[in-house]
């Protein structure tokens, strides 16, 4: 399955605009509202119109069954599930999966995110056969072609903080160490998820995360994560926070704890090196 293109998003303060660049086109989105804790924090979606289906067709029936199956399995402890919906016609099969962020697996946040994704995506992509949609807490993907256990690096989504990091040499050193750490740990973790926290100086710490879809092998997960990490200098050099999202993996870092630390193996900051306060949920920086 071939995807084309990439997406770049600047994470701006709440009072500004979010700039989205898809290839040579630039879309400006005004941030009108922000989700409550019960709502899923939408990031972006891609569904090329090069492969579409006919409404009320067998494919749509299979898609509806697939989305229902994914939603009903959102409470699984792993936070990951893949499934296939097919009929007597092989060309009408639909393959799909969801992946919740590792620290919210088996929580209401995961369940709510997947439920939102399964209803939201049919509005955003009503007749497209190949779809990926990202939220802060989860990712959902489906296609008319089987993609299970196959690493995919496109389409890709970049997001970054407009604030520049101070002491950039030291910042980049700590970032490199921590991102390499999470890549290695996630690739060898049963749930393909890892976080890490490292102090830069004073009150500044870097919180990092890496995660793959659980159908990938350790080798493919490691390759996916390191490929995503390698994008940081190109998209987000010197920024306080950034993320790169692929269909098969995601990496992210911030100067605040954006994941639930009591659900991960990340060490707590030592006294005297506390991170900045966590901004409101849904704030795009």
What CA–CA distance (Å, rounded) separates 127 from 133? Answer: 15
Structural domain boundaries in the chain: 1-33+149-285, 35-146
Which tokens is 85 given?
């919906």
CA 282 vs CA 18, 32, 94, 135: distances in Å: 13, 12, 31, 10
pLDDT recorded at residue 130: 97
Fold of the 1-33+149-285 domain: Killer Toxin P4; Chain A (3.30.430)
CATH code for residues 35-146: 3.30.430.20
> Order of strands across the sheet with 193-201?
25-30, 17-22, 6-11, 156-161, 242-245, 249-254, 204-212, 193-201
pLDDT recorded at residue 7: 54
Q: How many residues does the chain have?
A: 285
Strand bridging mode 25-30 / 17-22: antiparallel
Of 67, 81, 74, whose CA–CA distance to 124 is shortest?
67
pLDDT recorded at residue 224: 98
| Ranges of residues in the chain whose predicted pLDDT is under 70 | 1-38, 262-285
pTM for the structure as a whole: 0.80
pLDDT recorded at residue 149: 98
Q: Is 247 left (phi over 0), alpha (psi -120 to 50) or beta?
A: alpha
Same fold, 1-33+149-285 and 35-146: yes
């Amino acid at each position: 399955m071939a995807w084309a293109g990439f997406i770049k998003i600047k994470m701006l303060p709440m009072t500004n605009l979010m700039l989205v660049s898809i290839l040579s086109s630039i879309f400006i989105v005004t941030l009108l509202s922000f989700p409550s804790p019960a709502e899923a924090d939408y990031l972006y979606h891609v569904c090329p119109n090069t492969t579409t289906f006919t409404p009320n067709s067998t494919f749509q029936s299979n898609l509806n069954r697939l989305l229902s199956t994914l939603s009903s399995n959102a409470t699984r402890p792993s936070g990951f599930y893949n499934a296939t919906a097919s009929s007597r016609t092989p060309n009408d099969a639909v393959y799909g999966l969801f992946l919740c962020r590792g620290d919210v697996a088996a929580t209401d946040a995961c369940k709510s995110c997947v439920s939102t994704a399964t209803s939201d995506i049919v509005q955003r992509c009503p007749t497209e056969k190949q779809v990926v949609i990202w939220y802060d807490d989860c990712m959902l993907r489906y296609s008319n072609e089987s993609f299970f256990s196959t690493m995919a690096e496109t389409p890709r989504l970049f997001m970054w903080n407009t604030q520049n990091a101070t002491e950039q040499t030291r910042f980049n050193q700590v970032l490199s160490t921590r991102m390499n750490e999470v890549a290695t740990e996630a690739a060898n973790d049963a749930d393909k998820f890892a976080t890490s926290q490292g102090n830069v100086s004073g009150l500044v710490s870097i919180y990092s995360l890496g995660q793959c879809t659980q159908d990938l092998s350790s080798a493919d997960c490691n390759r996916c994560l390191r490929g995503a990490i390698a994008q940081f200098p190109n998209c987000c050099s010197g920024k306080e926070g950034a993320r790169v999202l692929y269909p098969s993996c995601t990496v992210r870092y911030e100067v605040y704890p954006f994941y639930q630390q009591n659900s991960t193996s990340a060490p707590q900051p030592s006294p005297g090196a506390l991170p900045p306060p966590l901004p409101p949920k849904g704030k795009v920086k």
